[in-house]
């Protein structure tokens, strides 16, 4: 906030900006300070609404206490004073879910404690609240427009009507407000998220605002515990002058109000939820506290699947009292649970309803499936359980392995995928791909292209795995496109570069000899492109082996 008086400028810094309406005297109109508004009972997060509603005729209720430190202060020169040094609110919150889609709610706030210094700055006195007050009643409704309950993506539309049930001050607005908002959110396995965009439309002189809230959480142990952050933002449609007299001008220090919370919730019983959250204010917007802490306790049962109209229920025991059994405690009753002894998730498919997730539908639940996205088979090895068969253990599934009984490496060429690129025979180390080269300082001197490193690594490994091989001749060959002398030098250069590559990577120099043969030993016709490509090659001929 900035104070201009008698043509001189002095800075007024705030932990949360002061809201004063432009008037020709020192009189001030104030509005409710509390930025934190709890979500409806049953929603997953503390201050961010969920997009849907779970259950039919399911009531929920909770009590929320929040404490804000220094939500409103003013600084003039070296002196700083709190208009509102602290506020503690109690919210009594209730909701009712209908048809697994609609939610109606109410929230009644009470300011339990308030305090401040009633400072005087530039001749203007800012009275501080000193007693408990009633806040404004919030009536809400929300409908899920798209997606399924607990689904990965849902869209909801909702709003609040705020009635002026408390006297105008720092705890209540004293005028009607409307808060329409759009909510996006969902749940993917143990991760849930929600975000809302909306506006606050006021009948009072305070400006309308754009509001955004977002949060996420990770859920552990079948909704037993959750932990995650939440962010709240609000900004007025227009930056206004808050107090303007002939010698004093006061406005908000920051147009944006922003708070961050890190919260945790615990469900010790199926119907009981307790939570706590805390975090800092990130800006100097109106009502933004330096520090915010929240605690809650509520009756918030998880919704059970509603019975379909054409389902008359069990007929054998019509007089049995109490709810149907739920052996695995996943809130899906045994008669409807396809896996009554394993906790699972709700599913529209009766054969999967209540079963643990199995993304690849291979009959092995994701929790123990080493390859949850690839259909596989059972295995005693936990690292292979649920993975596609791989007889040779080369990580290439048998279904795409061109050599399923010989370990190899993945290859873009289907007929070589999973096959060894190197084979040791009695007279030669055979390579199934050609070694590629790139030019050195001249066209006659060449080095191994890095794309062939993987192939030469296999050649090196083959030599090391056969210590009985004492001497190998690395033969360089060329096609007949150039003069004989050129081809001889070129083939020798290629053989030398392969020998140097292998020596650099651990093969003893005395085991390798390089020799160029030019175009003297063709494999194909030099009259065709395919034949010339065959003739440009490197061979590894075994010259000497230890006698057995």
Domain boundary (265, 298, 331) is at 298
Q: CA-CA distance, 106 to 86, in Å (whole number)?
A: 25
* pLDDT reported for residue 11: 35
Clarify whether residues 427 and 278 are in a common domain. Answer: no
Q: CA-CA distance, 287 to 258, in Å (whole number)?
A: 10
Of 421, 432, 524, 416, the residue nearest 477 (C-alpha)? 524
502's enclosing H/E stretch is: helix 484-504
Structural domain for 205, as ranges: 2-298
* pLDDT reported for residue 193: 94
Residue 503: other Cβ atoms inside 10 A: 15
- Residue-wise pLDDT for 386-421, tens only, equals 888 888 877 888 888 888 887 877 887 888 888 888
Tell me if 518 is assigned to some domain: yes
* pLDDT reported for residue 280: 94
- Who contacts 204 (Cβ-Cβ below 8 Å, separation ≥6)? 29, 31, 168, 173, 174, 175, 177
Q: CA-CA distance, 335 to 331, in Å (whole number)?
A: 12
| Coil, helix or strand at residue 37 | coil
DSSP assignment of 96-107, as one string? EEETTTEEEEEE
Tell me if 405 is assigned to some domain: no
Clarify whether residues 291 and 440 are in a common domain. Answer: no
With the CA atoms of 64, 68, 72 and 76 taken in that order, what torsion angle do they form, in degrees rounded to the nearest 10?
Answer: 180
DSSP assignment of 439-493, as one string? E-SSTT-EEE-GGGHHHHHHHHHHHHT-TTEEEEEEEEE--SSS-HHHHHHHHHH
10 to 13, 22, 70, 88, 517: CA distances (angstroms): 10, 19, 21, 32, 90
Backbone angles phi, psi at 232, to 5 degrees: -125, 130
**Which pLDDT band, with edges at 50, 70 and 90, does 246 fall under?**
low
* pLDDT reported for residue 440: 55
Between residues 194 and 19, which one has the greater pLDDT? 194
Tell me if 348 is assigned to some domain: no
Domain boundary (298, 327, 357) is at 298
Q: CA-CA distance, 405 to 442, in Å (whole number)?
A: 44
Tell me if 304 is assigned to some domain: no
- Who contacts 56 (Cβ-Cβ below 8 Å, separation ≥6)? 97, 98, 99, 100, 303, 306
Tell me if 496 is assigned to some domain: yes
* pLDDT reported for residue 2: 36
- Residue-wise pLDDT for 341-397, tens only, equals 888 888 888 888 888 888 887 878 888 888 888 888 888 888 888 888 888 877 888
CATH number at residue 217: 2.40.160.40
Angle at 359 between CA 356 and CA 361, to 5 degrees: 90
- Residue-wise pLDDT for 107-163, tens only, equals 999 999 998 888 877 677 778 888 899 999 999 999 999 988 888 999 999 999 999
Clarify whether residues 288 and 427 are in a common domain. Answer: no
450 to 184, 436, 538: CA distances (angstroms): 49, 8, 16
31 to 13, 35, 243, 404: CA distances (angstroms): 20, 11, 14, 74
Strand partners, 229: 262
Domain boundary (241, 266, 298) is at 298
Tell me if 307 is assigned to some domain: no
280's enclosing H/E stretch is: strand 272-280
Task: Give the pLDDT mean for 55-83.
Answer: 84
Residue tagged 């749940």 (tokens): 187
Q: How many structural domains does the chain have?
A: 2
Residue tagged 């060449």 (tokens): 446
- Who contacts 370 (Cβ-Cβ below 8 Å, separation ≥6)? 376, 382, 383, 384, 385, 386, 387
CATH number at residue 517: 3.30.1330.60
Of 185, 168, 214, 232, the residue nearest 36 (C-alpha)? 232
Tell me if 357 is assigned to some domain: no
Tell me if 337 is assigned to some domain: no
140 to 107, 143, 159: CA distances (angstroms): 8, 11, 6
Task: Give the pLDDT mean for 200-223.
Answer: 88
Say if residue 317's pLDDT is above 80: no
Clarify whether residues 278 and 427 are in a common domain. Answer: no
**Which pLDDT band, with edges at 50, 70 and 90, does 476 fall under?**
very high
Clarify whether residues 7 and 155 are in a common domain. Answer: yes
**Which pLDDT band, with edges at 50, 70 and 90, does 441 fall under?**
very low
Among 18-22, 107-111, 138-142, 432-436, the range scoring the smallest mean pLDDT is: 18-22
What would the 3-class secondary structure string for 156-211 be? EEEEEEEECCCCCCCCCCCCCEEEEEEEEEEEECCEEEEEEEEEEEECCCCCCEEE
Q: CA-CA distance, 420 to 101, in Å (whole number)?
A: 58
> What order of strands is seen across the sheet that includes strand 512-516?
422-424, 428-431, 537-545, 469-477, 512-516
Task: Give the pLDDT mean for 421-438.
Answer: 88
């Amino acid at each position: 906030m900035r104070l201009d008086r008698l043509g001189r400028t002095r800075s007024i810094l705030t932990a949360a900006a002061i809201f004063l309406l432009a008037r020709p005297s020192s009189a001030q109109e104030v509005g409710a300070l509390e930025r934190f508004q709890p979500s409806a009972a049953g929603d997953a997060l503390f201050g961010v609404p969920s997009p849907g509603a779970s259950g039919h005729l399911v009531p929920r209720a909770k009590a929320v206490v929040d404490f804000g430190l220094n939500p409103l202060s003013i600084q003039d020169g070296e002196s700083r004073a709190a208009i509102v040094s602290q506020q503690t609110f109690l919210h009594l919150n209730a909701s009712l879910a209908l048809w697994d889609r609609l939610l109606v709610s109410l929230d009644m706030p009470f300011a339990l404690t308030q305090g401040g210094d009633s400072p005087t700055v530039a001749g203007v006195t800012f009275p501080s609240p000193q007693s408990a007050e009633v806040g404004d009643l919030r009536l809400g409704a929300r409908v899920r427009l798209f997606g399924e309950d607990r689904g990965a993506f849902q869209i909801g539309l909702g709003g609040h009507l705020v009635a002026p049930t408390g006297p105008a001050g720092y705890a209540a607005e004293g005028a009607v407000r409307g808060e329409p908002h759009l909510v996006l959110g969902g749940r993917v396995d143990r991760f849930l998220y929600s975000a809302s965009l909306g506006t606050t439309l006021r009948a009072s002189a305070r400006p309308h605002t754009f509001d955004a809230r977002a949060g996420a959480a990770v859920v552990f142990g079948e909704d037993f515990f959750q932990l995650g952050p939440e962010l709240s933002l609000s900004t007025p449609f227009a930056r206004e002058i808050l107090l303007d007299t002939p010698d004093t001008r006061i406005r908000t220090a920051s147009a944006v109000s922003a708070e961050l919370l890190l919260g945790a919730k615990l469900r010790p019983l199926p119907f009981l939820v307790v939570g706590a959250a805390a975090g800092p204010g990130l800006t100097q917007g109106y009502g933004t506290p330096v520090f915010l802490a929240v605690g809650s306790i509520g009756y918030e049962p998880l919704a059970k699947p509603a019975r379909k109209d054409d389902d008359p229920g069990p007929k054998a025991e019509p007089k049995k009292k109490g709810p149907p059994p739920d052996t695995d405690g996943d809130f899906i009753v045994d008669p409807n649970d396809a896996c009554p002894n394993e906790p699972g998730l709700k599913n529209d498919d009766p054969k999967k309803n209540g079963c643990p997730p199995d993304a690849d539908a291979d009959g092995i639940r994701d929790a123990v499936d080493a390859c949850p996205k690839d259909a596989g088979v059972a295995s005693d090895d936990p690292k292979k359980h649920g993975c596609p068969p791989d007889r040779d253990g080369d990580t290439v599934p048998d279904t795409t392995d061109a050599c399923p009984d010989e370990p190899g490496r993945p290859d873009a060429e289907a007929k070589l995928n999973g096959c060894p690129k190197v084979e040791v025979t009695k007279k030669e180390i055979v390579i199934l791909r050609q070694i590629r080269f790139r030019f050195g300082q001249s066209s006659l001197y060449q080095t191994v292209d890095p794309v062939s490193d993987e192939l030469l690594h296999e050649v090196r490994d083959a030599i090391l795995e056969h210590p009985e091989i004492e001497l190998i001749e690395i033969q360089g060959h060329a096609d007949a496109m150039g003069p004989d002398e050129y081809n001889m030098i070129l083939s020798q250069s290629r053989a030398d570069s392969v020998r140097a590559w292998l020596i650099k990577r651990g093969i003893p120099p005395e085991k390798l000899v390089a020799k160029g043969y030019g175009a003297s030993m063709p494999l194909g016709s030099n009259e065709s492109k395919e034949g010339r490509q065959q003739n440009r090659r490197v061979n590894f001929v075994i010259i000497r082996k230890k006698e057995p």
